[in-house]
Chain A
Amino acid sequence: MSDHTSILRSPLILGNKSYSDVTEDVALPLDRSPGKEWWMAFAVSSSMLFLGLAAVTYQVLTGIGTWGLNNTVGWAFDITNFVFWIGIGHAGTLISAILFLFRQKWRTSVNRSAEAMTIFAVICAGIFPIIHMGRPWLAFWVLPYPNLRGPLWVNFRSPLVWDMFAIGTYFTISLVFWFVGLIPDLATLRDRTTSKIKKKLYGFFSLGWDGSNRTWLRYETVYLLLAGLATPLVVSVHTIVSWDFATSVIPGWHTTIFPPYFVAGAVFSGFAMVLTLMIIARKVLHFEEYITLHHIESMAKVIIATGGMVALAYLTELFVAMYSGNEYERFAFINRMFGPYAWAYWIMVSCNVLSPQLLWFKKVRTNVTLVFLLSLAINVGMWFERFVIITISLTRDYLPASWDGYAPSLVEIATLIGSFGLFLTLFLLFTRLLPMIAIGEVKGVLSYGRTKDRDSAREPKGVRALHEKVPGGVV
Chain B
Amino acid sequence: MSRRLFVAYFKGEQDILGATRAARSAGHEILDVYTPYAVHGLDKAMGLKPSRLPWVCLVFGLLGATAKLWFQIWTSAFNWPVNIGGKPLASIPAFVPVTFEITVLFAGLGTVGAFLLVSRLRPGRKPPVSYDRATNDRFVLVLVEGDASFDLQKTIELCKEHGCLNVEERLENES
Contact = CB atoms under 8 A, between A and B. Distances in A.
**Interface of chain A: mostly helix, strand, loop or mixed:** helix
A213 B122 CA distance: 17
Interface string B113-124: 001101111111
Range of interface residues on A (Cβ < 8 Å): 35 or more
A263 to B, nearest CB: 14
B157 to A, nearest CB: 11
Q: Which of A159, A165, A187 gathers most chain B CB within 10 Å?
A: A165
A383 B73 CA distance: 38
A155 B136 contact: no
Contact of A474 (B116, B129, B169): B169
A211 B105 contact: no
B135 interface: yes
B37 A184 contact: yes
Interface string A200-242: 0001110111111111111111100110011011001000100
Contacts of B34: 210-213
Nearest to A228: B57
A217 B48 contact: yes
A169 interface: yes
Contact of B109 (A152, A172, A443, A463): A172
A165 B115 CA distance: 25
Interface string B22-64: 0000000000111111111011001010110110010000000
Interface in B68-110: 71-72, 75-76, 79-80, 82, 84-85, 87, 91, 94-95, 97-98, 100-102, 104-105, 107-109
A406 B169 CA distance: 76
Most A CB atoms within 10 A — which of B53, B85, B133? B133
A219 B94 contact: no
Nearest to B42: A213
A475 B166 contact: yes
A225 B111 contact: yes
A369 B32 CA distance: 48
Nearest to B80: A150
Given A191-B135, A208-B128, A213-B43, A176 B15 contact: no
Interface stretch (A18-26, A61-69, A278-286): A18-26
B116 to A, nearest CB: 7
A467 B37 contact: no
Given A184-B37, A474-B169, A169 B101 contact: yes
A209 B168 CA distance: 22
Nearest to B142: A212
A470 B168 contact: yes
Nearest to A144: B75
A229 B107 contact: yes
B79 A151 contact: yes
Given A220-B38, A221-B50, A222-B115, A191 B136 contact: yes
A428 B39 CA distance: 32
B46 A467 contact: no
A156 interface: yes
A457 interface: yes
Given A157-B91, A157-B94, A211 B166 contact: no
A208 B121 contact: yes
A153 interface: yes
Given A450-B14, A454-B15, A467-B133, A207 B121 contact: yes
A321 interface: no
A463 B137 contact: yes
Interface of B: 9, 11-15, 32-40, 42-43, 46, 48, 50-51, 53-54, 57, 71-72, 75-76, 79-80, 82, 84-85, 87, 91, 94-95, 97-98, 100-102, 104-105, 107-109, 111-112, 115-116, 118-138, 140, 152, 156, 160, 163-170
Interface of A: 18-20, 23, 144, 150-153, 155-157, 159, 161-162, 165-166, 168-169, 172-173, 176-177, 180, 183-184, 187-188, 190-192, 203-205, 207-222, 225-226, 229-230, 232-233, 236, 240, 243, 440-441, 443-444, 448-450, 454, 457, 459-460, 463, 466-467, 470-475
